[in-house]
Amino acid sequence: MSEFPLDLPLRPRRNRKSAGVRALTRETRLSPDQLILPMFLHEDKNDQALESMPGCTRWSLDGMLREAEGALEEGVRAVVLFPKVEESDKSRTGEASFDDQGLIPKALRRLKKELPELVLITDVALDPYNSDGHDGILNDDGRILNDETVDVLVKQALMQAAAGADIISPSDMMDGRVGAIRDGLDFAGHTDVSILAYTAKYASAFYGPFRGALDSAPKNGDKKTYQMDPANAREALRELALDEMEGADMVMVKPAGPYLDVILRLREGTTLPIAAYQVSGEYLALKAASAGGWLNEKAAVLESLTGITRAGADMILTYFARDAARWLREDR
């Protein structure tokens, strides 16, 4: 300790001296209404705990309604729906993806009727419905058929919009699908339905638990010919420019935590709202470390979500949505 006071006019610690002062000077603020709850659904009448994602559930339609109602009461105003499709309903061309009597449209109609204030987001991709486990249609030599896939994705988006989706979220990473979906929605009169584009979706190792939840892993090969190379960041700006030009209303980076730099690059490159997806591998890593006593779950989760927001995300898809909303309310 110095014998004499330091001759420094500025003392940044003054803004950290109490909880009240820290709250007043906080630069990044996290709120429950920024959070989106992903929900896994199946046709079974019983809810099923997910072995690959402890703490998460594959919901029946009744369970889905209870969970969504609970989330809404806690301040989470949006959900995104993911179906587990029976093998018997899968095909190489994914026709079940646009069946208006399928699981997702039934879920949309019920949620829209029972919880009209809840924002309903749908996933547009073929991997849950494709017997090959890919986001697109494969030809006989294993190559993804981009344009043929886009035609099916448009049909899927139109069905979802008609069933009550507020936001359509194409996650497939096919070229040109945002523009085709926008044109299809507008032509069909769904001009108020928004598009949240998976703009920078990386071929990540962090998706494994999710694929277990949906039983949607590729049967052969991988997704590296359409999902982005994890080494690339500038390429995300090219995808951003294309999605903006094609009519996206919001854009997304997935995963979130390992790609904070990409979120920041998109934030600096667009005025559109940015979503980030804290994916299943991120969730499971935090859950496992917390269960082992190595992390304080509440503190670590809120810090991770704050970091994603600080990087530039306006909204976050996270399996911690209900817990985080509850913790934020407790800390007020």
Instruction: Give percent above pLDDT 90 in the chain.
Output: 85
Confidence of residue 11 (pLDDT cuts 50, 70, 90): confident
Which residues face 58 on adjacent strands? 40, 48
Domain ranges, residue 234? 29-330
How confident is the model at residue 151, as a pLDDT? Answer: 97
How confident is the model at residue 7, as a pLDDT? Answer: 66
Question: CB neighbours of 175 closer than 8 A, spacing ≥ 6?
Answer: 146, 150
Q: Does residue 319 sit within a domain?
A: yes
Q: Does residue 23 sit within a domain?
A: no
How confident is the model at residue 284, as a pLDDT? Answer: 95
Model confidence pLDDT, tens digit, residues 34-85: 999 999 999 999 999 998 899 999 999 999 999 999 999 999 999 999 999 9
Active site residues: 201, 254
How confident is the model at residue 2, as a pLDDT? Answer: 59
How confident is the model at residue 328, as a pLDDT? Answer: 96
Q: Does residue 24 sit within a domain?
A: no
Is residue 323 scored above 60 in pLDDT?
A: yes
Q: Does residue 2 sit within a domain?
A: no
Is residue 1 scored above 90 in pLDDT?
A: no
Is residue 221 scored above 80 in pLDDT?
A: no
How confident is the model at residue 140, as a pLDDT? Answer: 87
Question: CB neighbours of 281 closer than 8 A, spacing ≥ 6?
Answer: 204, 205, 206, 207, 208, 209, 210, 255
Model confidence pLDDT, tens digit, residues 141-150: 889 999 999 9
Q: How many domains does one find in the chain? A: 1
Model confidence pLDDT, tens digit, residues 157-205: 999 999 999 999 999 999 999 999 999 999 999 999 999 999 999 999 9
Q: Does residue 16 sit within a domain?
A: no
Arithmetic mean of pLDDT, 99-117: 97
Instruction: Give percent above pLDDT 70 in the chain.
Output: 96
How confident is the model at residue 132, as a pLDDT? Answer: 85
3-state SS class at 66: helix
C-alpha pair distances (Å), 271 with each of 219, 240, 244: 39, 11, 10
Q: What is the CATH number of the domain that holds 76?
A: 3.20.20.70
Cα torsion angle, 278, 304, 266, 202, sign: negative
Q: Does residue 8 sit within a domain?
A: no
Backbone angles phi, psi at 47, to 5 degrees: -75, 150
Mean pLDDT, the chain, rounded, equals 94
Rounded to the nearest 10 degrees, the angle between the axes of helix 297-311 and helix 321-330 is 100
Arithmetic mean of pLDDT, 323-331: 94
How confident is the model at residue 250, as a pLDDT? Answer: 98
How confident is the model at residue 9, as a pLDDT? Answer: 73
User: Which of the residue ranges 20-24, 57-61, 96-100, 165-169 would you say has the lowest mean pLDDT?
Assistant: 20-24
Model confidence pLDDT, tens digit, residues 237-267: 999 999 999 999 999 999 999 999 999 999 9
Q: Does residue 171 sit within a domain?
A: yes
Confidence of residue 222 (pLDDT cuts 50, 70, 90): confident
Is the model more confident about 205 or about 221?
Answer: 205
Q: Does residue 1 sit within a domain?
A: no
Confidence of residue 210 (pLDDT cuts 50, 70, 90): confident
